[in-house]
A and B are shown apart, each in its own frame.
Chain A
């Protein structure tokens, strides 16, 4: 067997061994963390724009902590640190918690800015039309803000796909750890890491396409808030 043949064989056999953790771990981890992250982000943004006193400072504190520390450190604290404090979490739940809270912190800033970019007159006009603050917020302000927030939130999602590879450090067998194990066994790090890189690239390319399609759809329904 020539070297080229050997590499080709390695690529074909390892492909499914990397793809399967991708489908079973990387993608679910990304999707679930992103959904939880968005819910956390929405609540965090809302308590800030609605000036809910105690919760507002709590929200600022949370954003400050999670934006100001490396995700890798957060993963280590939760997975290796918390057990010493008596709280034992499995690797996947640990990763889900950290990725959700991280996404929540970043996305809440995006949402807050988008809500604040909606002209003040929209709220006033809604109130004058007889609606409550909450009704105006959910029926008028948030839909406008989400359109402004859509491109940056898509970015956050694409970032998250790649960041899930950090979970390899806490023993989560996602795509990167799968590739790492095969590389160690076959002594072909260049091939394997390029291969896993291409797989990440594929996922992100699909997401970018989807983002474009959604943006076109949104655009047809009028402009975003200025």
Chain B
């Protein structure tokens, strides 16, 4: 077991966004998280990386216990060094080249020497097919290219898990494929991933488990083969009929 999330709760003002969510993730799992907009998917991922403080809940990650409400700063810093996060709108560092986007965290966060960080950075860019753009600034790259650099950045410190929050939702349709291909090869390389997505084919063909979020709860959790053919819950059946699958 790599990650065990227990009873997360989170409200914004009076809106209960996560109502008691628990989930187990094994090393090598690719979990796709599906669900309608507003069901709490983003908030769930953000709580796991402490970008958002949960009201309650705890988790066991890589042998360490974390109080999701009250974890101290030092613990959070250590956790973030073992995880990667890919955002819907890429969030590449605007004033840094593609290569620097990957190496910045290695140097400033992980205390790596520049030369070593650049070797790793180039290797990561190669893996996402962006090596020849090493000196381009984000504004010189397409959305798909930016997201591939963002994935390279998330992979760079060899994290135990990478969280993806709708990594292809901001992309023009013709650019979605290149990003999904990178994610797929990452999954095939054994990376543990939690992926919030609306790409049903990715969920069906790449993920090891599918989780459906509905109104702040996990409505269904199953291998994709079962989830897409025999959904058990009413929420899942309705979700799938709306997705037209």
> Which of A's residues lie within 8 Å of B, judged by CB?
119, 121-122, 124-132, 135, 139-140, 143-144, 147, 221-223, 225
Please name all residues of chain A whose beta carbon is closer than 8 Å to the beta carbon of B85 when the two chains form the complex: 124-125, 128
Interface residues on B, range: 20 to 34
Q: What is the interface of chain A mostly: helix, strand, loop, or mixed? A: helix
Q: Do residues A128 and B94 form an inter-chain contact, with CB atoms below 8 A?
A: no
The answer on a CB contact under 8 Å between B95 and A131 is no
| Complex Cα gap A140–B94 (Å) | 8
- Nearest B-chain residue to A129, judged by Cβ: B105
The tally of CB-CB contacts under 8 A between chains A and B is 76
Q: Which residue of A lies closest to B93 (CB)?
A: A140
Q: How many angstroms from the CA of A178 to the CA of B215 in the assembled complex?
A: 75
Quick check: which of B76-84, B175-183, B192-200, B203-211 contacts chain A, the rest being far away?
A: B76-84
Report whether over half of chain B's contact residues are helix, strand or loop; otherwise say mixed: mixed
Contact of A122 among B81, B93, B150 (CB under 8 A): B93
Interface contact B105-A140, CB-CB below 8 Å: no
Q: Which of B93, B95, B108, B153 contacts A135 (CB 8 A)?
A: B108
B109, CB-defined interface residue at 8 Å = yes
The answer for the CA separation of A175 and B92 in the assembled complex, in Å, is 49
For A127, the chain B residues whose CB sits under 8 A away are 51, 80
Contact between chains at B95 and A128 (CB < 8 Å): no
Q: Which of A121, A130, A131, A144 lies at the interface centre, i.e. has the most chain B CB atoms within 10 A of its CB?
A: A130
Cross-chain contact A129 with B94 (CB below 8 angstroms) = no
- How near does chain A come to B173, taking the closest CB pair, in angstroms? 23
Is A124 within 8 A of B51, CB to CB? Answer: yes
| Interface set, chain B 112-130, CB cutoff 8 A to A | none
Assess whether A130 is in contact with B105, with CB atoms less than 8 Å apart: yes
Instruction: Flag if B81 contacts A225 (CB, 8 Å).
Output: no
B197 to chain A, nearest CB (A): 18
Q: How far apart are the CA atoms of A73 and B196 in the complex, in Å?
A: 60
Q: Is the pair A131, B137 in contact by a Cβ cutoff of 8 Å?
A: no
List residues of B (63-77) whose CB comes within 8 Å of A's CBs. Answer: 77
Tell whether A144 pairs with B94 under 8 Å between CB atoms, given A221-B137, A222-B139: yes
Interface set, chain B 144-193, CB cutoff 8 A to A: 150, 153-154, 156-157
Residues of A within 8 A of B83 (CB): 128
Min CB distance B80 to A, Å, is 6
